[in-house]
Amino acid sequence: MGLLSNRVEKTEIKAGDHIYSWRAAYTYSHHGVYVGGSKVVHFTRKKDTSDSINSSSSSSLSSGVPSVCPTFPDCGFHQSNSGVILSCLDCFLGNGSLYCFEYGVPPSVFLAKVRGGTCTTAESDPPETVINRAMYLLQNGFGNYDVFENNCEDFALYCKTGLLSLEELGIGRSGQASSFFGVPLAALFSTPFKLLAAGPVGMATVTAGMYCAGRYITDIGVRKDVVKVAVEDLAANLGWRRCLKERAPGKDCDASVGVASIEEEKRQRL
């Protein structure tokens, strides 16, 4: 992997890696967790799992891949009413190339990456913890898919870090979502600085700076509204976002916590 590209070969990835592949001429990328044995656990819309892990309809998975995997009988396994899927690496990639998401990158490297959804300043947990989260969620689900708040990259980021956002509404943890919001917001907020920008080049420079700053402050490794959540608690509580919103940073969410202790934690945060 390098500064300009995170592309890797299949022989280079290890169990517990966060991998992704670009779709639709690099318009967006689909993310998953490599669990070893040429298998990937990933997250997509529930309706996309009704017939196969790939469909011809618009989805976060590529089309043109056989509905029945000729290599692995369990490829496409998922629980009913769940968008978390186990697939083989070849079916996950489709016709795309393989990329490996980077963790623990310095701010300078993060800002140098033009596209969001390729790296984070957050540190990854050990591979065995990552794989345990992914396999647990394969059996228990990861809630409802939302392209901005709870998507495939959010799933992989959670498996790798155990971090979830306290905010009930707004963008999730994914860099792709931040980029989608960041481009128009950068242009919007850079408008007051147009008098400081000497012509189109200056305006473009200001806009680019605002875009990079927006990406950085929404990175999961920088944000202050995230907490560590045990996977057992996440899967056991359908109202996990509401629970998280009431919890203090740095502590696991537990639905059994009383109102008094929650209020005490909120006071400590002030």
How would residue 189 be classed by pLDDT, with cut points 50, 70 and 90?
very low
> Is 28 a member of any domain?
yes
DSSP-assigned letter for residue 247: S
CB 119 within 8 A of CB 110: yes
The three-state DSSP-derived secondary structure of 144-167 is CCECCCECHHHHHHHHHHCEEECC
Domain range spanning residue 157? 17-44+70-171+180-245
Whether 228 maps to a domain, the answer reads yes
59 domain residue, yes or no: no
Q: Which CATH number does the domain housing residue 99 bear?
A: 3.90.1720.10
Give a yes or no: residue 1 inside a domain: no
pLDDT in tens, 102-113: 999 999 999 888
**97 located within any domain:** yes
pLDDT at 213: 73
Percent of the chain residues topping a pLDDT of 90: 42
In a domain, residue 9? The reply is no
Q: Is residue 196 part of a domain?
A: yes
Q: Is 148 exposed, middle or buried (0-12, 13-18, 19+ CB in 10 A)?
A: middle
Looking at residue 214, its pLDDT comes to 76
Predicted pLDDT at 61: 43
- Amino acid (one-letter) located at 260: A
Residue 58 lies in a domain: no
* Residues assigned a catalytic role: 30, 42, 152
| The pTM of the whole model exceeds 0.75 | no
How many domains are there within the chain?
A: 1
Q: Find which of 51-65, 77-91, 234-248 is predicted with most confidence, using mean pLDDT.
A: 77-91
